[in-house]
Each structure stands twice: as C-alpha cells, then as structure tokens.
Amino acid sequence: MRIKQLKLEFFYLRKAFFEYHRGFSYLRNRYGTAKKVLSWQTPLDHAPTRDDVSVHVLTCHRDMVMLCWSLASYYRVGKVFGELFIHNDGSLTGEDEAIIHRLFPHAQLVDTRAFLDDYKEELAIYPLAREWRAKPKFFLLKKLIDQYFVSQKPLRLVIDSDLLWFVHPTDLEKMFESWQMPSLMIQNNMPAPVFFKDGAAIDERTASFNSGIVLYHRDSFNLDRLTEYLSRVDEADNRNVHFIEQAGFAYCLDKLSALPLEQYHIKGEVTSQTIVKHYTSPRRPLIYIEGIPRLHKFIL
C-alpha cells in the first residue's frame, strides 16, 4: 500500500474511533461486510428501461468496494434506468473488470486512457478542452469532459461512486419525461471555489454546486462556456485540482438548479426523507458505519 493511501486509512480510522465513536463498527463493516459484495455471484443491475438516457460514473481500483455498493443501492431503489457507462480511470485491474462484468453485466466499461485518441476528431473542434484533458494534474476533468463525448444519449445522469441511495428518487426520475428539464446538481455544504488567472474566484452560487449528482440534457451542456471556463482557470493554483470539474459543470450547464438539500445531502443524519447521501472524502468512514449496515440486508 502506498504511503499516501496508508496515511488516508489511518486518518479514516482515527475519525471512526474519535469523532464518530464507532471504530469497531467501522472496522467490521469496512473490512468484513462491505467486501462481501466482491464475491457476490448474482447481477446487481437492471437492463436499461430507456434508450435516451445514459448514466456515467468515474471510478478507480481503490474505490471498487464503494462503487459496487453505490451502484447496487442505485439499482435497488430506482425504476428508470439508462445505459450505464463505468469510466475506468486507468487503475482498474483485470480482476476489478471481471467483478464489474459479473455484477453489472449491462454496463459498458470505458478506458479513459484511450479517450484522447478515440475522440480526437471531435476534440479537434475544442482544442482547449483537449489540452486541459491531457493534463495529468487535473484528472477530474475525465469526469467533466469524457461523458459528453462518449455517449450520444440526450439525457445524462453523472453520479459519483461514493453515493448511497436509500429511497426511490421520484422527482429526479420525473425529469427524464421533460425535454425542457432544468439541469440539476447536488449542493455543497459550503462553497468550493475555483480560482482564475486574474486572481478572482468563481462566484459563490456556482461554487455551491457539487458534482456528486449531475442531471442534464445534452443541449444544456454549453461547450463554448467550457472553453471560456478553461481559458480563465489558473493552472498554477493547486487549490483548483480538487474542484475544477464540479465548478466546470456548474459553469457550463444552462438552466441549473440545486436538488433539495433535505433529500440529497452530504452532511447530516440519514432519515426517512433521505434519497441520497454523498459520503465525500472527509466523511467517508460513515459509508461503513451508517450506510452499508442499512443496506446490507436489502442487497446481499
């Protein structure tokens, strides 16, 4: 295990014991219950119910267990499904891919390492997007840029692998019926700004959106705005590495609104009203302390 990953594991362990006071529950579920999904033999997905919707998730080897639980919970509560694209950041092993094919046989695996070559003609029209997408430092741009070109479906749902779905997302799925639907994103707990070359920060409203869930019509993704955004971002400012893609979605999408915070949230208890909780990195232990124990009996 790399030193950076080992430090992160110790960070989560300390939070589990000293902040959440559920350390032994964390250990039991993190290294026991949660990993059972990897050996599960029965598919956890469903065939697409609509041919005009695509669903996209970017993942990596480190997040395999979490990805499986996230997608399993999504398929458990949902009723409307598009074609699932799982974007491999390049770190998935052959075993990881075999697990994905077994548990989610209707999904398409997309290798992000081939993206620039596979879509060079389309990207030639947007040279700045291609230039930024090629920068290893800004790896999260794979999530912002790739999904637009990989799928030609008009309706897009982009989701993270650290979401757990608890209740049927009725209002979210109703949006698939409206071709004039607004773009939707989940909200941050606090603004997560991106900084520009002129020293200014992106406006507070744009910085308030989180890309854990992004729902939009393809016509609402403004590629000219994407070029404008990338031309302004300060490449030298390392603070931009972690939030460049979510601010990019918010900057580029037309008719953008926020999903209701009481139903789609990052912070706070899971209640009967919680449709989705986004277990972002600072709160990651809670996916094993509160999330997976709630779902285990329904999924495995």
CATH number at residue 69: 3.90.550
CA within 13 Å, CB half, 220: 23
Residue 1 scores a pLDDT above 60: no
Cα–Cα dist 176/174, whole Å = 5
In this prediction, residues 88-100 reach a mean pLDDT of 98
The reported pLDDT for the residue numbered 179 is: 63
Place of tokens 């209701």: 260
- Any bridge partners for residue 56, and if so which? 85, 158
DSSP symbol at 207:
H
Residue 137 scores a pLDDT above 60: yes
- Any bridge partners for residue 110, and if so which? 87
The reported pLDDT for the residue numbered 291 is: 98
Task: Report helix, strand or coil for 200.
Answer: coil
The reported pLDDT for the residue numbered 59 is: 98
The reported pLDDT for the residue numbered 156 is: 95
* Cα-based angle 30, 58, 290 (whole degrees, multiple of 5): 30
> In the predicted model, what is the mean pLDDT of the chain?
96
DSSP symbol at 238:
G
CA 11 → CA 76, 191, 208, 290, distances in Å? 31, 24, 26, 18
In this prediction, residues 23-45 reach a mean pLDDT of 97
- The residue segments making up the domain with residue 222 are 3-299
- Show the DSSP H helices in the chain as ranges: 3-14, 23-28, 64-77, 94-103, 115-118, 120-123, 127-133, 141, 147-150, 170-174, 204-207, 223-232, 244-252, 285-286, 292-299
Q: Note the pLDDT tens digit of each residue in 190-228.
A: 999 999 999 999 999 999 999 999 999 999 999 999 999
- Any bridge partners for residue 277, and if so which? 164, 265
Q: Note the pLDDT tens digit of each residue in 217-260.
A: 999 999 999 999 999 999 999 999 999 999 999 999 999 999 99
Rg of the chain over Cα atoms, rounded to whole angstroms, equals 19
Residue 11's pLDDT band (cuts 50, 70, 90): very high
Tell me how many domains the chain contains: 1
- pTM exceeds cut of 0.85: yes
